[in-house]
Amino acid sequence: MQTEDESPIGAVAADGEVPGPTGPALIQSVVKGLGTGPGVYRMLDAQSRVLYVGKARNLRARVSSYARLSGHSPRIARMIRETAAMMFLTTRTETEALLLEQNLIKQLKPRYNVLLRDDKSFPEILIAKDHPFPQIRKHRGARRSKGAYYGPFASAGAVNRTLNQLQKVFLLRSCTDATFESRTRPCLLYQIRRCSAPCTGEISGDDYAALVADAERFLQGKSTAVQAELAAEMQAASEAMAFERAAALRDRIRALTAVQSSQGINPRGVAEADVVAVHVEGGQACVQVFFIRAHQSWGNRDFYPRTGAGAEEPEVLEAFLAQFYDGRPPPRLILLSHPLDDPDLVAGLLAERAGRKVELAVPRRGEKAELVENAARNARESLGRKLAESTAQAKLLAGLAEAFGLEAPPRRVEVYDNSHIQGTDAVGAMIVAGPEGLVKSQYRKFNIRGERLTPGDDFGMMREVLTRRFERLLKEDPDREGEAWPDILLIDGGAGQVSAVAGILGDLGVDDIPVVGVAKGIDRDAGKEEFHRPGRPVMALRRGDPVLYFVQRLRDEAHRFAIGAHRAKRARAVGVTPLDEIPGVGAARKRALLAHFGSAKAVSRASPADLQAVEGISAALARKIHDFFHDRP
């Protein structure tokens, strides 16, 4: 990829004052020096913050369009007015420019670009082929295991429901290889007819392979053939008066029908596609994606990309496709609700990522058009619900500001809580709420590390959590220009906790963020909470006040998150033994030692000869284990 000098073109002062031209005048002054090849441009404000990243087939022509004084949408006109400098990168091809543009958008998150904020992977079904008796299981992430992958499914719930029914139909094992090798008799799944128990030889290798083949045919969309064969087998068993086998086959057919009915829309004319529809309203957008694989609908998911307040449908869709399929394999066909401005370019980018042709289509009639209309209706309804929820959330935040004397409704509310058992496995937790509700991607847990803390010292724990949180904020954004700074802190506690928190923030030089302590109040009864603020009298909210319920939900969510983090930490600690500290003793040898002796304490009392009797423990390692327990200072 060819590039030019990346230094900003324009004048930006350190104090934010702009000594040179801005807006259209600045853009006009830089156009003359640009070439006519493809590339990427960045627009910066007076503080050198990136406002927008764009790509162009012809840099000079694209950038010169911004120099016009009229003809722009309000969003673009506002962006042009704020532009104080520009940066440019040239590329060999327009596809390279599109790829670079999306990488920069993901990295820089410019204010006026469309940005997909949900980059989670989707679950799949994996039939693992690294064992003589393949295992069926849920998979998420990179495809590193050997086997056949089927998906994506829209949610963990969708894939779990399908897996549950597939186990009833095809009786494939779901246990791990280690469990498989250790079985001496069939497990409960065999008893309830959810597994054929290959682990104990209840089914032959050839018959199990036939079940695997049937499962793969079903997941490939050949469900009719599978059902017909099962029906023929059931009829034959019935005629042979093998009624128990006939009943089992009947149950498998019913389970297969249940899988198909739970998948909803099952298009006959579309084997593999993603259906992507967008609806824009009120400065927000919802993109609905339906996954069609093997003539079956495997669920749908809605996304709410940040649109920069004013992006239209083609721009939203183009940015969404480029970002959504970054790291996800695109299907061979993508059905769209709106035509793109440059569909060939986007299709070329997706084809390059997939290593095969990817077709983009906007169907106007037939079954494909019905699929798109269904997705568009879901996008419209989902955005309507979200806008209604946002309106209600805005009222609650305005009520919170009025109740606690804030200057404006908070954009970011942070709630803190601690969890521990007599000081052990202590964890601090922070949750975040804003205009769109709970922002779970911003939740944070803090493993309490203070060695000098007295067990159960909640004040000390809170000091450590807040010190770590705000020291990092001060380091990363000392000028408070980003969105990570809270407008109010809610603390689970009374006057003592609030006073301590105010002191901690004061020591850090952050004394202008309101702090409110939420105490249980009289009889520790929900609805009688008392609210404590530094230097102000204790107050309460009217019982039944929506703001009171809102604060209760936030406090309970913080408590739930803290408890969950604490339990996870405690569960990890339960599995820890002194054996983990011995070099050369890995997971397999640890299991062998514990299985042989029963406990780590019994291992510590064993002689080298006894240790050497365990499979995998050499004489040298036996001596090392013995010395570890007996020769330590």
Most confident by average pLDDT, 218-222, 275-279, 475-479:
275-279
What is the C-alpha to C-alpha distance for residues 350 and 361, in angstroms, rounded to an integer? 14
**CATH class given for the domain over 578-630:** mainly alpha
**β 488-492/333-336 pair status:** unpaired
For 535, residues 6+ apart whose C-beta sits below 8 A from its C-beta are none
Distances in whole angstroms, Cα of residue 299 to Cα of each of 26, 73, 162, 394, 434: 49, 36, 11, 31, 29
Q: Where are the alpha helices (DSSP H) in 448-494?
A: 458-476
Name the more confident of 566 and 378.
378
What tens digit of pLDDT does each residue of 277-312 get? 999 987 889 999 999 887 878 888 999 998 866 788
Reported as a pLDDT band with limits 50, 70 and 90, residue 64 is: very high
- Which pLDDT does position 309 carry in this prediction? 60
SS3 243: helix
SS3 300: strand
Would 272-384 and 413-572 be classified into the same CATH topology? yes
DSSP lists the bridge partners of residue 489 as 414, 515
Average pLDDT over residues 186-195: 89
Name the more confident of 288 and 228.
288
Tokens of 515: 């702090």
Q: Which residue has the tokens 């183009």?
A: 318
Average pLDDT over residues 398-411: 92
285 touches 304 (CB < 8 A): yes
What is the C-alpha to C-alpha distance for residues 514 and 533, in angstroms, rounded to an integer? 8
What is the C-alpha to C-alpha distance for residues 404 and 399, in angstroms, rounded to an integer? 9
- Which pLDDT does position 371 carry in this prediction? 93
What is the C-alpha to C-alpha distance for residues 530 and 516, in angstroms, rounded to an integer? 10
- Which pLDDT does position 486 carry in this prediction? 93
pLDDT at 261 over 60: no
How much of the chain exceeds pLDDT 90, in percent? 32
Reported as a pLDDT band with limits 50, 70 and 90, residue 267 is: confident
Q: Where are the alpha helices (DSSP H) in 427-545?
A: 458-476, 495-507
SS3 511: coil
Q: What is the DSSP letter of 539?
A: B
CATH of domain 9-108: 3.40.1440.10
Residue type, position 83, single letter:
T
What is the C-alpha to C-alpha distance for residues 150 and 129, in angstroms, rounded to an integer? 13
Which of 12-21, 234-243, 295-304 is least confident? 12-21
- Which pLDDT does position 414 carry in this prediction? 94
Torsion sign across C-alpha atoms 477, 7, 63, 326:
negative
pLDDT at 259 over 90: no
408 touches 399 (CB < 8 A): no
Among residues 485, 103, 516, the alpha carbon closest in space to that of 327 is found at 103
Angle (nearest 5°) at CA 417 between 437 and 478: 70
The torsion defined by the Cα of 581, 584, 590 and 591, in degrees rounded to 10, comes to: 160
Q: Is 209 exposed, middle or buried (0-12, 13-18, 19+ CB in 10 A)?
A: middle
DSSP string, 310-362: T--HHHHHHHHHHHHTSSS---SEEEESS--SSHHHHHHHHHHHHTS--EEE-
CATH of domain 272-384: 3.30.420.340
Reported as a pLDDT band with limits 50, 70 and 90, residue 627 is: confident
Q: Please say whether the structural domain 413-572 has been given the CATH code 3.40.50.11740.
A: no
Among residues 306, 366, 314, the alpha carbon closest in space to that of 336 is found at 314
What is the C-alpha to C-alpha distance for residues 65 and 582, in angstroms, rounded to an integer? 67
The shares of helix, strand and coil residues in the chain, as percent rounded to the nearest 5, are 45, 20, 35
Mean pLDDT over the full length of the chain:
84
SS3 490: strand
- Which pLDDT does position 107 carry in this prediction? 87
What is the C-alpha to C-alpha distance for residues 627 and 342, in angstroms, rounded to an integer? 70
Enclosing H/E stretch for 279: strand 272-281
What is the 3-state secondary structure of 60-127? HHHHHHCCCCCCCCHHHHHHHHHCCEEEEEECCCHHHHHHHHHHHHHHHCCCCCCECCCCCCCCEEEE
Name the more confident of 547 and 231.
547
Which of 74-78, 332-336, 394-398, 569-573 is least confident? 569-573
Q: Is 5 exposed, middle or buried (0-12, 13-18, 19+ CB in 10 A)?
A: exposed
- Which pLDDT does position 457 carry in this prediction? 67
Which of 2-6, 114-118, 188-192 is least confident? 2-6
Among residues 259, 172, 248, 249, the alpha carbon closest in space to that of 218 is found at 259
Residue 61: count other Cβ atoms within 10 Å of its Cβ. Answer: 12
119 touches 149 (CB < 8 A): no
Most confident by average pLDDT, 114-118, 141-145, 556-560:
556-560
Among residues 472, 153, 510, 111, the alpha carbon closest in space to that of 306 is found at 111
pLDDT at 590 over 90: no
DSSP string, 370-424: HHHHHHHHHHHHHHHHHHHHHHHHHHHHHHHHHHHT-SS--S-EEEEEEEEETTE
User: For the chain, which residues make up each domain, given as ranges?
Assistant: 9-108, 124-262, 272-384, 413-572, 578-630
- Which pLDDT does position 443 carry in this prediction? 92
Tokens of 74: 């309000």
What is the 3-state secondary structure of 553-579? HHHHHHHHHHHHHHHHHHHHHHCCCHH
